[in-house]
Each structure stands twice: as C-alpha cells, then as structure tokens.
Amino acid sequence: MQSLTSTLARALGFSPFAWIRDTRRMRHLVSDFRQPPSPKPEAIHFAVIITPWMGTAVPWFSLACGLFLASRGNRIAFVIDDMPFGDRPLRFRFVVRCVRSVLRLLPEQYEVIRLGDCVAETPLSVAAQRSVDRLAQLNAVWALRGEMSTDGRRRYTERAIRQLGTSYGAIADVFRSGRYDAVFVPGGVWGSSGIWTEQAREAGVRLASFDSGGYGTLMLAADGVACQLQDIPRALSLLKAHAASPEQRAFIAASAQAEMDRRRSGTDRFASQMKNAAQLDARFSGAVLIALNSSWDSAALGLHAVFESSSEWIVETVRFLLDNTSAPVVVRQHPAERLEIARTSDDYRALLTRHFANHPRLHFIAADEPVNSYDVLEQVAAVVVYTSTIGIEAAVHGKAVVTASRSYYSDLGFVRQATNLEQYRQYLSEAAHGLHPVTPPMREDALSCYYLTQCCNWVFSPFNPEGFTEWSRLDLAQLEQHEKVRVTVTSLEQNIPVAFLNHLALAEHQRRLSVP
C-alpha cells in the first residue's frame, strides 16, 4: 500500500492522501477554535490570500494567521485565489477544493471571496500587460533555477503570461472596493503573488507577506516582500532611534560580530561557508570582488536597476573592470549553490570563458571550491554586489561596495548605489582606485543592518509554513499563546518589523542578565 501511495504521489506531483489527512486536521482545528470577537473600533481590515502553493501547507499557514488576527478584533476577509497557475492543474484544483471545504466551516462573521468570481472580460492595458510579461519572465527564471537555461523557457513563459493575464484583472477588482487596509500574501514574486504585490502598492494598501526561510524558519514582512527583506530599512531606523546608549550599541555590535564569526567558520544555522578552506591565492590581493547571488532565488528576482539580467550585470562589470583598471577581478559564485537547496542551472564559468577566454586577471571561484568568502574579503580592495549579504559584511570590513540593484540595503548609506550605467561605471572606477572611503558611521550602520538581518529577522518558531505536521498537533488557542506566534501576529497587526520586535526581546533578555 505504501509503495502504491508513493507511486501515485510521484505521478501526480503530490500526495492526495496526505492532503486529505491534512485537510481533516485543519477542519478539526478551525471547528474547535473560538468564535472571533466583534471588531474593535481600531480594527484593521485584512484581506488574507489563500492560494495553493506547489502542494505545500502554505494555505493552512495563511488561514491560521488570519484567524489569529481576527481573534485580536480585526476584520478579516479570506480571498481564495483559485485562478490556475503552474503546470500541475490537477493538484491545483484538488488543493482548492480542500481549502474551500475548510473555509466553509468558518463562522459567518468572516467574509470569504472566490477570486474566480472577480474575473474581468476587459483586455489588459499596455502597462498591465507589460507587468504580466515581466512577472512571467521572473517566474520562468525561478522555475528553471536560473536565467541561462533555454530548455522549456518559451513554453513556460507563454503559459505563465496566459495565467497571470487572467489573474491580473480579477486581483485588481478585489482592490477596487477600497475596503482593505492591508493584504497578507505568501511570497510576493512567484505566481500570482507578484500581482497581489503590485496591485496592493498601486491601491495604497499595506502589503504584508511571508515566506519560508528553509530549515524550519519563517520570514515575515509587515510591509513589503519578506524574502527580499523589505522591512529592514524601517527596522534600522527604529533600531537607531531605540539603541541610543553605548551599552546598547555595544551589545548590537558584539551580537553581530559573533554571528559573523559563526558564519565565517561555517557553524551558523545555514552553514553556507566552507569549513577547512584552502590557503588563498596571492593573486587576489587588491582585487575587485564580484559576489554573485543565485539568479533564481526569490530574494534576488526583479531587483536590477541598471541591467536586464544577472548575466548581463556579470559580463558588463567584468568587461569594464578589465578594460579600465589594472586590478585583478574575482568572481565568487554564492557558496550556498553547492547545496541542493540552492543548486542552480546557471553556468557562470562557461559564461565568463565565452566572453573573456583565459584572461590572466580574471579569477572564478566556484561554489564548491574550498575557499572561504571572508578570506577573500580581507584581501580585496573593493566589492561589487547585487543583493548578497556579503555587501553588508564588506562595508563592516571597511571595503568600498558598489551595487546596481534595488536591494534592501542599497539605499542605506554604507554602499554606493548606481541607478544608471554611466554612474555605475564611475562608481566602479572610483572603488577600484580606492576613492570610496568607508567611514566609521557607515561601518556602524552596516553592522547594525547585519545584526537585524542575521540575528533578529529569522523567526524560529513551531509555527512556520514548513512545520504544519508539528503545529497542527496543537489546538489553535494553545498555539496562539506561543511567544513567537504572538510576535508574528503583533508584527502583522501593528505594522512593526519583526526584526525590531525580536531585537527588543533580545535586548530585554540581555538587560536581565546584566542585572546583579
């Protein structure tokens, strides 16, 4: 029987038996949860988007968050995004039916909207079609785990354009009523979540979002796309206003440095760096380091400000540095790409060889080479980044950093952000020639930013998108009282970055330890 179940799951792309089991669990949890109170005078009207998400438990997580927000006296409308997306239509329809069977158990105080009832027949405007085309291209990069692979790209993109084009008008219709103060969505790039993101911003509705950080963690943004850390600039402003004393600043700096040391040694939670790295090549001394992202990672999708793609950014940056400076150029593939969870289809070595052959000043470090990025960082003169965390770490180390992206830290003052090609080339030349000094205040801001992203922004909680099997064993009233769940709901309700809330908890814990 188990063999038959596994065979069926592989053929369908999901396990219907597991989904039936989990649906029964969720029906039980919803039925036993207390009735929501009447909306309070200052109630926030949330539209909580419930959508199939590649057969994962994401819709159950969304539903539970909506119930927790309602239990605090907020007004909740559940929107079933039942507009097909992806290449698994049977799985999509099956999950939608499961979700609808659970939502039918909700008390009548809840508004439930089916997105399929909002489909408009009017053609898309030129701007809307351009947006759909762009999102379809980003989804193709994600699905193919890279932007260089051409196999199946046209077919995938054409299907995504058709599907997203139908969703666009329906999602716009939801916002047309003007009833909602905030919308809570999974993702923010993949599938129709990219449309929810754009439409919310156009309508002036606060976008709250969540994502899975992997390793059983939750990523959350009270206002922005969670996987792109769009809450961090606001969290940094709050942190700088709150941490005024020398003792608080010292605690932040020490916490950040300790986490950076763990990351360097490969003993942090995610172990992205190589342990037992080899001795560095002396040719890296005084080089310009180009630190790559995974082009398909949602954290990096759609954030180019100057270039059309990561491939173009890599090639044009290398070409300019080789032609206009005498510095060695080191291209470092993200070390996490050696792990299965972050594997890419992009071939950076082949890309560089095709354009630059065996140029003596160009050095490529693959993800699986026994080289520690921090060792490289200490040798180079300047760093060029897209959205990688090493851009923050480089500034902490006093290295000039140049970016041509709209990453969460690109406008925080400790890196040079270019918004056009001429400016980008100027910044590259100046950085390579040592003309971008990093001041002590810039280094302190970078260290504070690192502290927020690496020490505070991850939500380690039993309640996360991946952990349904565990948290569904608890009743929702019990789960709601968990400290980390309360922090999650507070962040969403009060529009406070979860990184800042976690900082307050860490600072209070440290204060108590220091009291004799």
Instruction: Report pLDDT digits (tens) over 22-39.
Output: 999 999 999 999 888 999
Quote the DSSP letter at residue 106.
Answer: S
Across the range 249-260, mean pLDDT stands at: 93
Task: Reply yes or no on domain 22-231+459-507 having CATH 3.40.50.
Answer: yes
Q: How far apart are CA 204 and CA 180, in angstroms?
A: 10
Buried b (16+ CB within 10 A) or exposed e, 230-245: bbbbbbbebbeeebee
Q: For residue 339, name the pLDDT band (cuts at 50, 70, 90).
A: confident
CB atoms within 10 A of CB 413: 16
Give the C-alpha distances (Å, rounded to integers) separating 350 from 321, 323, 346, 358: 19, 20, 9, 11
What CATH number does domain 238-456 carry, 1.20.1260.10, 3.40.50.2000, 3.40.30.10, 3.30.420.40? Answer: 3.40.50.2000
Q: Flag whether pLDDT at 119 surpasses 70.
A: yes
Domain 238-456 in the same topology as domain 22-231+459-507: yes
Domain locations in the chain as residue ranges: 22-231+459-507, 238-456
pLDDT score of 336: 85
Closest Cα to residue 130, out of 86, 84, 97, 164?
A: 164
Ordered strands of the 45-50 beta sheet: 111-114, 75-80, 45-50, 182-186, 206-214, 217-221
Q: Measured between alpha carbons, how far apart are the two ends of the chain, in Å?
A: 62
- Whole-prediction pTM value? 0.93
**Residue corresponding to tokens 């897209």:** 386
Residue 439 token pair: 């001041």
Nearest to 170 by CA among 204, 206, 132: 132
| Residue 243 identity (one-letter amino acid) | A
- In this prediction, residue 12 carries a pLDDT of 66
pLDDT computed for residue 270 by the predictor: 63
Please say whether the beta carbons of 338 and 368 come within 8 A: yes
Comparing 439 with 247, which gets the higher pLDDT? Answer: 439
Where b means 16+ CB within 10 Å and e means fewer, 461-482 reads bebbbbbbeebbeeebeebbee
The mean per-residue pLDDT over the stretch 295-316 comes to: 95
Confidence (pLDDT) at 268? 63
What is the band of 5 on the pLDDT scale with cuts at 50, 70, 90?
low
